[in-house]
Amino acid sequence: MSEYESEVEQRWGDAGEFRQWQTKTSKYSQADFAAAKVDQEAATELFVYLFGNSISVSSEKAQEAVVVHRAAISKWFYECTVEMQKNLALLYIQDPRFKKYYDGRVAGLAQYVHNAIMAQ
């Protein structure tokens, strides 16, 4: 088990989403993980485009990106409810690892994604 998997289990081991994640990903091949990454990256690129073009987080386009983000998580990992997605959005600005992922694309993206998700 990786360092991150241990952390996830410690923090959310009792959550249904964690059990769904374990069940789904335990059956994945390397190709499945690669496909999941493609979907996640595509969702992120939607946010990059919107942020780069100063599209309001409450706009129809930004809210469509929020739905795509949630759908990618649900497809590959666990049923991501709006409430769970909002919990994730908090991590995107509070956890340096998530913040680095988004802000590594473009400075300020983590806050933009957070704000778009919270605007639902």
Give dist(CA 114, CA 95) in Å, integer: 12
Write the CB contacts of 24 (distance below 8 Å, at least 6 apart in sequence): 76, 77, 78
In eight-state DSSP terms, residue 57 is T
Q: What is the pLDDT of residues 36-48, one digit of tens each?
A: 999 999 999 999 9
Ordered by where they begin, the domains of the chain are 3-118 (1.10.490.50)
CA triple 92-20-36, angle to 5 deg: 60
Q: Which residue has the tokens 């991150």?
A: 4
Contact between residue 72 and residue 43 where contact means Cβ atoms under 8 Å apart:
yes
Q: What is the pLDDT of residues 48-84, one digit of tens each?
A: 999 999 999 999 999 999 999 999 999 999 899 999 9
Tokens at 64, concatenated: 């469509």
Q: What is the pLDDT of residues 84-98, one digit of tens each?
A: 999 999 999 999 999
Q: Is the model's pLDDT at 7 over the cut of 80?
A: no
Q: So what's the pLDDT on residue 2?
A: 45
Give dist(CA 8, CA 11) in Å, integer: 5
Write the CB contacts of 64 (distance below 8 Å, at least 6 apart in sequence): 46
Q: So what's the pLDDT on residue 6?
A: 56
Q: Is the model's pLDDT at 13 over the cut of 70?
A: no
Q: Which residue has the tokens 């959310």?
A: 12
Name the pLDDT band for 23 (thresholds 50, 70, 90): confident
Q: Where are the beta strands (DSSP E) in the chain?
A: none
The three-class DSSP label of residue 29 is: coil
